[in-house]
């Protein structure tokens, strides 16, 4: 007796539904320690500038890591590895431009004390809504990428109280009284 395609799907589907899921568990992705990461696109100097920018933009707070410590720099560098040449060039030029602004103020960006580095970044960010110079345009790009990278990290999601990305055996549905159907 031949089995038609629809019957085969019913049989396979029933097998999947009946499958025991008690052995489900999470497999964590291995991570590289912060100090062990070697940039794949950015030079060591550019990566150090990026890390400093991240510390200033999204510093550590009482209950959350800084963007730097959350691995945002690693994420950005890895993203650039798979980006097109134009975007990579924008980032390398932009990081160099930040450093050049700092050098005109007296020293490399990575060597400045936190208050002076923050002042330099504040000047660059001043025209954020209508950036005119290349360094101002780069700041807008950097800020968006840094925020995205941070909130995609475990630390960023934790700072928001996000508890998702976990397997659950069943979903009981919404239990808010105002969402219960009448007469059910």
pLDDT digits 0-9 by tens, 56-81: 999 999 989 999 999 999 999 999 99
Q: How many domains does the chain fold into?
A: 1
Q: What is the pLDDT of residue 161?
A: 82
CB 88 within 8 A of CB 42: no
Quick check: is 101 in a domain? yes
Report the C-alpha gap between 100 and 97 in whole angstroms.
5
| Residue 86 domain boundaries | 50-159
In a domain, 4, yes or no: no
Query: Residues of the chain whose pLDDT is less than 50?
Result: 17, 27
Q: Is residue 155 part of a domain?
A: yes
Q: Which of 160, 150, 132, 131 is nearest to 53 (CA)?
A: 150
In this structure, are residues 80 and 142 in contact, taking their beta carbons and an 8 Å threshold? no
CB 83 within 8 A of CB 127: no
DSSP annotation of 61: B
In a domain, residue 65? The reply is yes
Tell me whether residue 96 is in a domain: yes
pLDDT, position 35: 64
Question: What does the DSSP assignment read for 129-167?
Answer: TS--SHHHHHHHHHHHHHHHHHHHSHHHHHHTT---S--
pTM surpassing 0.85?
no
Backbone angles phi, psi at 82, to 5 degrees: -100, 5
SS3 19: coil
Look at residue 10 and tell me if it is in a domain: no
Number of Cβ within a 10 Å radius of residue 8: 10
For residue 40, being part of any structural domain is answered with no
The pLDDT tens digits for 75-109 are 999 999 999 999 999 999 999 999 999 999 999 99
């Amino acid at each position: 007796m031949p089995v038609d395609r629809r019957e085969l799907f019913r049989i396979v589907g029933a097998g999947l539904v009946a499958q025991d899921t008690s052995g489900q568990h999470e497999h964590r992705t291995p991570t590289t320690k912060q100090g062990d990461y070697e940039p794949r696109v950015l030079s060591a100097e550019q990566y150090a500038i990026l890390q400093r920018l991240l510390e200033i933009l999204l510093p550590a707070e009482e209950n959350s890591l800084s963007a730097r410590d959350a691995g945002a720099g690693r994420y950005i560098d890895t993203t650039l590895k798979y980006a097109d040449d134009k975007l990579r060039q924008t980032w390398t030029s932009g990081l160099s431009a930040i450093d050049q602004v700092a050098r005109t103020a007296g020293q490399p960006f990575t060597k400045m004390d936190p208050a002076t580095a923050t002042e330099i970044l504040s000047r660059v960010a001043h025209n954020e809504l209508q950036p005119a110079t290349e360094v101002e345009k780069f700041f807008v790009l950097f800020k968006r990428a840094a925020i995205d990278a941070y909130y995609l990290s475990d630390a960023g999601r934790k700072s928001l109280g996000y508890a998702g990305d976990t397997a659950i055996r069943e979903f009981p549905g919404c239990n808010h009284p105002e969402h219960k159907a009448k007469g059910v």
